[in-house]
Amino acid sequence: MKYHRIPDETVRRLPVYLRGLLFLSDHKQNISSRNLADFISVNDSQIRKDFSYFGAFGTPGVGYDIRKLIRQIKKMLNLSVSHKAALVGAGNLGSAILAYPGFRMYGFDIAAAFDNDPKKIGREINNVRIEDISSLRTLERRKISLAIIAVPRDAAQQTADALVKAGVKGILNFSPLRITAPKKVKVITIDIAMELARLPYYI
């Protein structure tokens, strides 16, 4: 693992900026931090501070060059090259993820999918063939270092353990369980209920 000098909080916001900028790049060439702030609901001084981490500074009266910012953020996030990811768990959630149209925008390729259900193994969803979970060990050879966990809660930790053993370096976990992994493996958990928990504040 390389040396990380950007705070986790900034790494959390960079994809939010990137997403907004990718939308904006269809219509505009430049944007001020204030207008970007309005567009993505992060305050503008925070945006300027985050951008300063990778040396992006706007031109007074003109703002930031959107395409240049996109390149800089992608480079910073290690998204300039495309990444292959594996999905584990081809149930309802896993099937929805395989059909999700948004991965290509960030250069991701869901290159493999696994399940332990003989009825699912061998089937294809969105051109990805479901493989037997016992084939996880092939991931390293196939240069797949990211994985998405979409298995039932009780199977989440053992799935994470198997992924770590298979050389995976980053895990996106959709189970509501808090899974543990060695420090060298980054785990991000998406808790759907936790996201919903932000809404009542505003109503």
- How is residue 62 written in tokens? 């003109």
| Contact residue for a second copy among 28, 59, 67, 188 (CB under 8 A) | 188
What is the distance of C-alpha 202 from the center of its chain? 26
For the segment 94-113, give every residue that binds a second copy (CB under 8 A).
95-97, 99-103, 105-106, 108
- Under rule CB under 8 A, residue 55 binds a second copy: no
For the segment 58-77, give every residue that binds a second copy (CB under 8 A).
76-77
For the segment 18-37, give every residue that binds a second copy (CB under 8 A).
18-19, 23
What gap in Å lies between CA 158 and CA 120, rounded to an integer? 20
- Under rule CB under 8 A, residue 9 binds a second copy: yes
- How is residue 95 written in tokens? 């099937």
Contact 81, 107 (CB under 8 A): yes
| Part of the chain binding a second copy (CB under 8 A), chosen from 53-61, 64-72, 133-141, 142-150 | 142-150
Contact 88, 114 (CB under 8 A): yes
Question: Strand runs (DSSP E) across the chain, as ranges?
Answer: 30-31, 64-65, 83-88, 108-115, 124-125, 128-132, 146-149, 170-173, 186-189
Q: Give the residues lining the site for a second copy (CB under 8 A).
A: 1, 4, 6-9, 11-12, 14-16, 18-19, 23, 41-43, 46, 76-79, 83, 85, 91-93, 95-97, 99-103, 105-106, 108, 145-146, 148, 150, 153, 169-172, 176, 178, 186, 188, 190-203
